[in-house]
């Protein structure tokens, strides 16, 4: 019984840490990186990535995890921006999950000789994404650029059933990824 209580307390403390990490601000770090990587999953992410590219915070942008039928023109239609940026945006079609995003981005980074990236994804997805990206490319400097989706309420997340389910699910996925990455290093 004591073990169950200790494990439950550890899980709950970890969840509190996870929510705090997810809630860390999305202010733009003014320092330049070689690249921006946007993970698919919300138009806010793409909009944020294109805005960063337009500001000159990086040379190129990869949108990772794009469905095979989606073309660049369609993505630009979802997030209207300066057409001159089209030259600097690449679409990655091989990733179907966060592990795949990290591998796709690592391959792209190495192919371009890039040494630093700005990772754009939703705030709740950032802790697991950072874990996977650091495992896939430990030699690359990675900066966080979390996006705060309008439908995810991190303040008082427990009072919003949809947000609570999302946060608990993402935290559990993070724990599985942490175990896999940690065991892979042993």
Written as six digits, the tokens of 176 are: 């599985």
CB 103 within 8 A of CB 137: no
pTM over 0.85: yes
CATH of the domain at 138: 3.40.50.620
On whether residue 134 sits in a domain, the answer given is yes
- What rounded mean pLDDT belongs to the chain? 91
User: Residue 2's pLDDT is what?
Assistant: 87
At 50 the pLDDT is 92
Residue 67 lies in a domain: yes
Residue-level pLDDT at 27: 67
User: Is the pLDDT score of 24 beyond 80?
Assistant: no
Query: What is the number of structural domains in the chain?
Result: 1
Residue 179 inside a domain? The answer is no
Q: Report the pLDDT value the prediction gives residue 73, as an integer from 0 to 100.
A: 81
Domain carrying residue 112: 22-149
Residue 71: its pLDDT value, please? 87
């Amino acid at each position: 019984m004591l073990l169950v209580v200790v494990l439950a307390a550890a899980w709950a403390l970890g969840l509190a840490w996870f929510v705090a990490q997810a809630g860390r601000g999305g202010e733009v770090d003014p320092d330049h990186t070689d690249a921006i990587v946007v993970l698919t999953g919300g138009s806010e992410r793409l909009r944020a990535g294109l805005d960063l590219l337009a500001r000159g915070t990086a040379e190129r942008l990869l949108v990772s995890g794009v469905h095979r039928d989606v073309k660049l023109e369609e993505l630009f239609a979802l997030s209207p921006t300066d057409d001159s940026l089209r030259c600097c945006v690449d679409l990655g079609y091989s990733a179907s999950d966060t592990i795949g995003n990290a591998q796709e981005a690592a391959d792209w980074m190495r192919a371009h000789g890039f040494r630093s990236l700005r990772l754009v994804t939703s705030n709740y997805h950032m802790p697991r994404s950072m874990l996977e990206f650091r495992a896939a490319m430990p030699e690359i400097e990675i900066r966080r650029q979390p996006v705060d989706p309008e439908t995810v309420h991190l303040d008082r997340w427990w009072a919003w059933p949809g947000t609570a389910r999302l946060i608990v699910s993402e935290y559990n996925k993070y724990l599985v990824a942490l175990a896999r990455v940690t065991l892979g290093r042993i």
